[in-house]
Amino acid sequence: MAGISALGIGSGLDLNGLLDQLEGAERQKLVPIVQQKGSYQAKISAYGKLEGALSQFQVAAERLNDRDLYQSVTSKVNGTGITAAAGVEAAVGRYQVEVVQLAQASSVATMGVADKNAELGAGTLTFTFGNNETLAVEIAQGDSSLESIRDAINSKNAGVSASIINDGSGSPHRLVFSSTATGTDAAIENIDFGGVGLMQDDETKLAAQNAQIKVNGINISSQSNRVEGAIQGVTLDVTETGSSSLNVERDNDSIKKAVKGFVDAYNGLKSTMGELSGYGGVPGSAGILLGDNTLRGIESQLRSALSTGVSSGEFNMLSDVGVSMELGGKLKLDEEKLDRVLSDNLHGLADFFAADSKSAGMAGQLSQTLERMLDDRGALSNATTGLNKSIERLDQRFERMERSIDATIARYRAQFAQMDSLIAGMNSTSSYLTQQFDAMNAQLGRK
């Protein structure tokens, strides 16, 4: 760097400035490489945007390719006492539900003790439940206080929970045992204290009970407040006593929403392709993928898949179910026509979009086409891989060119230094000769 800063001292010329100009001119050779790399990177970004739109359309197509969509039902409750969730197995119909009684867990307390930390003696607590199953809890002499007994029971995590309450009396501390589940099967029917110094207080016993409901007048008992199987495919959650009506019907709104989502996703994809490949008529406004073979191939495949239709079933073309292609290539949904299909021929609609084979219906065919496009070896991946390799080659070319420019500038710098030194020597010689001639002239009286 010191040599550069001293350059031009000998000659008086602005050699540093001239060297900078030469370097700037040399570096112009890098501009086309940078521009080319930028265009490749812009294409990769455009392919990424196209891939995102294709993926959204694939998700929409897959939604229509699910047979469960056309079997889904919805449930509506009018009244109090229950909430309902209908699954795909639910039978369409109307039901009257009366909640007579809620399910309840059992509990029982012990007689009180004065000191909850006092040892009550070793033994085995044995609980017998309504289903005749038992739970045995061993209590050791050194761990027989109320707190220790509580912890020993709770550590079993086996149908009984224990807690300590204080009733404010002279012997206030009681253990309360509660079933961890509702219903008579889980009820605590008997407790054998097995040598532990505790006694059961029968006056505090809370009996377990099952939920009791009526569905269209039929009595139904359930161990819990979640009732399954009373109505095919419907789960009832009992919340309070009362009467309700439950209407289970086909969830046509979800199907219609899925078809609309399919149309919107394709139109979004079409807009993206138009944006990436369009010609704006103004220099610099054309789409990045204008004339791109990969994009044109994708457009052609999608157009073919949408217009070919399916070969079997009552509906063969998208237009048969209310989806038509407009002049500009986008899809349009005729909601009234789709509503009629949903009402009159739901099975035919299901066969059209989602046939028995995952790839036979319209949605399945499209999904396969999209999967090939988006696959690791698909058109987009291959195009992106090719561009990345081109960028790698450009980077290598850029590095070689930079090294060549650096070598050229170094050569210029050396030549300038030699010239600067030569001119400095010549100037020194000229000054010396001038001094000698002036001295001679002075001696000869010529001045």
Three-state secondary structure string covering 278-323:
CCCCCCCCCCCCCCCHHHHHHHHHHHHHHHHCCCCCCCCCHHHHCE
Q: Do 259 and 318 have their domain in common? A: yes
| Residue 64 lies inside a defined structural domain of this protein | yes
Extract the tokens encoding 236.
Answer: 């009832």
Classify residue 11 by its DSSP letter: T
Query: Domain limits at 80?
Result: 73-102+211-250
Phi-psi region of 284 (alpha: psi -120 to 50; beta: other; left: phi over 0): left
Is the per-residue pLDDT at 112 higher than 80?
A: yes
pTM: 0.66
Domain assignment present for 311: yes
Question: Has residue 222 been placed in a domain?
Answer: yes
DSSP string, 131-158: TS-EEEEEE-GGG-SHHHHHHHHHHH-S
pLDDT of residue 8: 56
Same domain, 291 and 358: yes
In a domain, 361, yes or no: yes
**Is the Cα torsion angle 231, 235, 241, 247 positive or negative in sign?**
negative
> Percent of the chain beyond pLDDT 90?
61
Query: What pLDDT shows up at residue 4?
Result: 42
H helix and E strand count, the chain:
10, 17
Residues 192 and 220 in one domain: no
Domain C-terminal end among 324, 349, 382: 382
Element (H, E) at 277: helix 252-277
With cut-offs at 50, 70 and 90, classify the pLDDT of residue 22.
confident
Same domain membership, residue 189 and residue 328: no
Q: Which of 179, 248, 181, 244 is nearest to 213 (CA)?
A: 244
State how many domains the chain has: 3
Smallest Cα–Cα separation from 50: which of 284, 260, 262, 277?
A: 277
Give the best-scoring range by mean pLDDT among 22-31, 91-100, 284-293, 432-441.
91-100
Q: Are residues 294 and 314 in the same domain?
A: yes
Decide if 4 is inside a domain.
no
Q: In which band, very low, low, confident or very high, does the pLDDT at 47 lie, cut at 50, 70 and 90?
A: very high
Residues 193 and 306 reside in one and the same domain = no
Residue 443 lies in a domain: no
Range of weakest confidence among 23-37, 189-203, 320-334: 23-37
Residue 13, pLDDT above cutoff 90:
no
Instruction: Report whether pLDDT(62) > 60.
Output: yes
pLDDT tops 50 at residue 294: yes
Residue 387 lies in a domain: no
Residue 428 lies inside a defined structural domain of this protein:
no
Say whether pLDDT at 21 is over 90: no
Residues 90 and 227 in one domain: yes
Same domain, 138 and 244: no
Mean pLDDT over the full length of the chain: 89
The pLDDT of residue 414: 79
Compute the average pLDDT of residues 26-48.
90
Buried b (16+ CB within 10 A) or exposed e, 292-304: bebbeebbebbee
Residue where a domain stops, chosen among 382, 405, 432: 382
Q: Say if CB 69 and CB 354 are below 8 A apart.
A: yes
CA angle 185, 186, 187 (to 5 degrees): 95
- CB crowding 2-12: b at 16 or more within 10 Å, else e: eeeeebbebbe
